[in-house]
Chain A
């Protein structure tokens, strides 16, 4: 079903992506990630000694601090923190640095829809910049179902508000090409809003997985050339 999106994109088209790493000097790792107008800045500090009281000291613990662009920290922000924590606990190799805490600070610069996936991508790039060993990279996108039952990817804030339901999908990025037959592992935490039937869920995950291939290629391309160039320049 053809769909007219306000900014003229096709249903499967993502907004322009932009990513830059090592933006903050004092943080151990940092990255900004922008999808269209939505922009998020993530910084990683760690691993630091000691864990919190309720945490298992035999594993590294991950602490997320979510900072909204305006206003005080509210319930929604705490929810985002929890979701990010679960996601990154499945990605990081927690047995390497036991009894330490790695802090990820996420600052929302501008919110124009698909905020949580943008934050997950930014935090993943920041973890890579900090040199924290990861099992695989995480790529996230947002799919939404509109009023006329059409699935569109990467909605802007306007489209999100009008949508019947939307879901955030996170996929682990293990090999260079995301294999379609690979089943969703524990790493993917779908967070769903609204009414999503099983049919739409299946369609969303397929569409989403295909698009994450593009996202993951972008992420990898972003990381490679810089490192080789610097190594050869330094001599």
Chain B
């Protein structure tokens, strides 16, 4: 999560400062009242039974915070939410991880959490799409499916006895290739309805993982499993993709066009700029940044310069104030 070091000139610093102050003034006032540090007592109505959640403790009848953060209230539940904390996985989160180790019947992935996550061999679809029992041969051929340092998209299944388990039981999960992985701080990614986005005009796929890993890559057509089964009749036992003999024709098929690669780089730089500025990453804001850079005919590497960052901050301040006026 290294941030871009911005060399700002004096005027740029002033402009950036103004834009950020504008953003802070726009945010609702409730937030500033609710921030609390350790051992501050939380104002709570004692007549209603109050449920003390995470980050609170009971000290002589007073509800006291044990973490630094913002107080959140949901009906009777009072809890303290930390801001710059580590990613906390919940069941059903879409995460992107990198394979660290190929172990017995499972892969170990790094998902930017305090422990490593496991993806069991049985929690994945076989490459041929057939539902069957995993045999010893499958276990020996695990390396042909995912190897060390591969980037994988999966869903959090839950916490089992030995750790965090993931599953990849759909065609949209699985190995990601031809693209870039960008790390941002996890609190910049909020849980939303859709994490898989397809930008048609650029032909790229955008996957925003809840753990702060964002994937920008070439668009891959998601094939439906059911249709595949009827069409393919290959023998399940013999399906070992042969990586060594990649013929010239296959290489040509796998070639990504220069335009698509440029769009991938542009989108990746947009995400990097947003993470430096500390804005929440959503599809609209990424699209806005890409459009801004294209309208200015900016070179892709100029997007990481200080001038563009200041412009993005100003534009975001304008956008939020216009949103607020509409409401």
- List residues of chain B with CB within 8 A of the CB of A174: 39
Whether the pair A231, B70 counts as a contact (CB closer than 8 A) is yes
Name B2's closest neighbour in chain A (CB-CB). Answer: A25
Whether the pair B70, A227 counts as a contact (CB closer than 8 A) is yes
How far is B181's CA from A2's CA once the two chains are assembled, in angstroms? 63
**Min distance, Cβ A36 to any Cβ of chain B, angstroms:** 25
In the complex with contacts A136-B39, A175-B39, A176-B40, A231-B115 CB distance below 8 A:
no
Number of A residues near B (Cβ < 8 Å) is: 33
Listed stretches A45-53, A60-68, A141-149; interface member: A45-53
Whether the pair A228, B35 counts as a contact (CB closer than 8 A) is yes
Contact of A233 among B24, B70, B86 (CB under 8 A): B24
Whether the pair A231, B35 counts as a contact (CB closer than 8 A) is yes
Whether the pair A136, B38 counts as a contact (CB closer than 8 A) is yes
Listed stretches A108-116, A126-134, A155-163; interface member: A126-134
How far is B56's CA from A133's CA once the two chains are assembled, in angstroms? 8
In the complex with contacts A227-B69, A231-B70, A232-B27, A134-B114 CB distance below 8 A:
no
Whether the pair A227, B279 counts as a contact (CB closer than 8 A) is no
Whether the pair A220, B37 counts as a contact (CB closer than 8 A) is yes
In chain B, positions 121-178 with a C-beta closer than 8 Å to chain A are none
How far is B60's CA from A135's CA once the two chains are assembled, in angstroms? 13
- List residues of chain B with CB within 8 A of the CB of A176: 40
- List residues of chain B with CB within 8 A of the CB of A136: 38-39
Whether the pair B70, A235 counts as a contact (CB closer than 8 A) is no
Whether the pair A235, B57 counts as a contact (CB closer than 8 A) is no
**Min distance, Cβ B11 to any Cβ of chain A, angstroms:** 21
Name B282's closest neighbour in chain A (CB-CB). Answer: A235
Q: Does B92 lie at the interface of the complex (its beta carbon under 8 Å from any beta carbon of A)?
A: no
Q: Is the interface of A mostly helix, strand, loop or mixed?
A: mixed
Q: Does B18 lie at the interface of the complex (its beta carbon under 8 Å from any beta carbon of A)?
A: no
In chain B, positions 62-109 with a C-beta closer than 8 Å to chain A are 66-70, 82-86
Q: Does B50 lie at the interface of the complex (its beta carbon under 8 Å from any beta carbon of A)?
A: no
Q: Does A234 lie at the interface of the complex (its beta carbon under 8 Å from any beta carbon of B)?
A: yes
- List residues of chain A with CB within 8 A of the CB of B31: 228, 231-232
- List residues of chain A with CB within 8 A of the CB of B182: none
Name B86's closest neighbour in chain A (CB-CB). Answer: A28
Name A22's closest neighbour in chain B (CB-CB). Answer: B84
**Min distance, Cβ B325 to any Cβ of chain A, angstroms:** 16
In the complex with contacts A227-B68, A234-B278, A28-B114 CB distance below 8 A:
yes
- List residues of chain B with CB within 8 A of the CB of A42: none
Whether the pair B40, A235 counts as a contact (CB closer than 8 A) is no
Name B115's closest neighbour in chain A (CB-CB). Answer: A49
Whether the pair B320, A235 counts as a contact (CB closer than 8 A) is yes
**Min distance, Cβ B265 to any Cβ of chain A, angstroms:** 24
- List residues of chain B with CB within 8 A of the CB of A229: 24
In chain B, positions 33-47 with a C-beta closer than 8 Å to chain A are 35, 37-41
Q: Does A224 lie at the interface of the complex (its beta carbon under 8 Å from any beta carbon of B)?
A: yes
Whether the pair B39, A173 counts as a contact (CB closer than 8 A) is yes
- List residues of chain B with CB within 8 A of the CB of A17: none
Contact of A131 among B32, B67, B115, B320 (CB under 8 A): B67
Q: What are 30 A-B pairs with beta-carbon distances under 8 A?
A: A28-B114, A46-B114, A47-B114, A48-B114, A93-B66, A128-B37, A131-B86, A133-B55, A134-B38, A134-B66, A135-B57, A136-B38, A173-B39, A175-B39, A176-B40, A224-B37, A227-B68, A227-B69, A227-B70, A228-B32, A230-B83, A230-B278, A231-B27, A231-B70, A232-B24, A232-B32, A233-B20, A233-B23, A233-B278, A234-B279
Residues of A participating in the B interface, judged by any CB pair closer than 8 Å: 22, 25, 28, 46-49, 93, 128-131, 133-137, 173-176, 220, 223-224, 227-235
Known: A130-B86, A136-B38, A230-B84. 14 other contacts (CB 8 A): A22-B84, A28-B114, A47-B114, A49-B115, A133-B67, A135-B39, A137-B38, A175-B41, A223-B37, A227-B70, A231-B27, A232-B23, A233-B27, A234-B188
The 10 closest A-B pairs by CB, nearest first: A232-B27, A133-B66, A131-B85, A136-B39, A131-B82, A232-B24, A228-B35, A227-B83, A234-B280, A174-B39
